[in-house]
Structure 1
Amino acid sequence: MMGFSVKDKVALVTGANRGIGKAIVESFFKHGVKKVYLAVRNPESTQDLQAQYGEKVVALHVDVTDVASIKALAKETKDVDILVNNAGVMNLASPLSEEAEASLQHEFNVNVFGLLRTSQAFAATLETNKGALVQLNSIASIKTFGDITTYSASKAAAYSVTQGLREKLGEKGVSVLSVHPGPIATDMGQSAGFSDAPEATIVAEGIVSALEAGDFHLFPDPMARQLEEAYQSYADNIILGDLSV
């Protein structure tokens, strides 16, 4: 895949109001992005980013569980070069818990169908602008952890969809990046019991570098890189390999 520079580009980040999404916005501006659409359920939640960046940010409503909402967003933002699908949810749910089925449905609706909906709505724009899609997956995409089994299943499915998008969007000249952080110091990370995890900046800076390098996978933090070391051969030979020959 060709390298993709974020400089002078227009980005749209879902879930941009906190955690990794907010860190991505800050890193993008640090590396020369000229405008960022903050696509969130509650635009009021982005006031600090609006105060910091002024007219360089535009807060817009989106609900990734609502197709009409996503289509309206895509219609309003045809100048987008970089789509960052960061909005996601995580429930603590053992596969044996009574809540597991409802949890899985909720996480699939946001984490998997949300990715499908946003990708389909923005595909034409990304093709026209020869842009990039960045999907926030997880180390849980390739390793299930018992107490977040349903989340792990949703992220494994999202990773599978991301691979399909790499193939189909790649044919249209669009770069696709699959990001696989370990636990990060965000509200989500803390709710899972990780209080001394790396800051979200490590993910945001990694995204800029991975796009420039033309990579498909990013394992940005120390725990993620441990998994990457073991996964590398499979990823290179199977996920990125040409199995048609």
Structure 2
Amino acid sequence: MKKNEFYEWLKENTNLMESSIRTYFYAIEKFLKEVKELNIEEINKFISENFRNKRNYHYKYAIKKYLEFIKREDIIPKLVKVKISPRKKVGHYYDKETILKIIDGMNYYKIVALIQYITGARAKEVLSFNRNKLIKETNGIRLILEAKGGKETGVYIPNPYAEKVLQVIESRKKEYPFLKGSSNNFTTLLNNNYRYYLNELKKSVEKLGIEFNTHDFRRNFARMIYNISGKKISVVKAALRHSKFTSTERYIGELVSKEELDKLVENIFT
């Protein structure tokens, strides 16, 4: 593979953000090292093994783009369909005071936790924020984050929290102000910081004697939006930036009974 050519092709022919382009690029480097012959059997074996063992969903998407790059689109329809059932995770819900105590007990990644709590964004979406993707608005700021699939999504942070976020961003003179350390591989850098973030959050939570994980910020955000909107699933869907109602229902299902959920769905679709 002519590395620079594929990298430039991704930049010119896709709407992926820079971090996703790097992720795809390094995924294909690994792919070409392990797959000696470019035939469907070897490709599908690689996809199946990586999905099963590492849950690296981006590999299949990267391979599709690579096949387009080398003009072998004929292989794409033959790629194996691999689906991993998500693990059932139990959400932990607390009042505003408790969640703010969790955040206050953190250090370097305190600002990441705060942004998650205010916006409902996923941890890695916040961690990979690029300082050039910030828009100042009348009563706050909007951060343009990279969501699933490499798509850009904007999250709004009102004052006075916006002022705290701006202060941190301006004090850290880095392209990615929420990451620390360095690596030639952006995916490695992001994953390392995610682990650091998990450890810092874990220490804060243990001091309070409760259970809480990074995705619980998103769950609690969904609950707050759900309650303040008058229990409107459509509002929660928009707030969580979901493309399908079925994704939102998984969050709402933890907050209401099956009967209440059925009634809400009826109100939307009938």
Q: Same fold (TM over 0.5)?
A: no
Question: Which structure features the higher share of strand residues?
Answer: 1
Which of the two has higher C-alpha Rg? 2
What TM-score do you get using the length of structure 1 for normalisation? 0.28
What TM-score do you get using the length of structure 2 for normalisation? 0.26
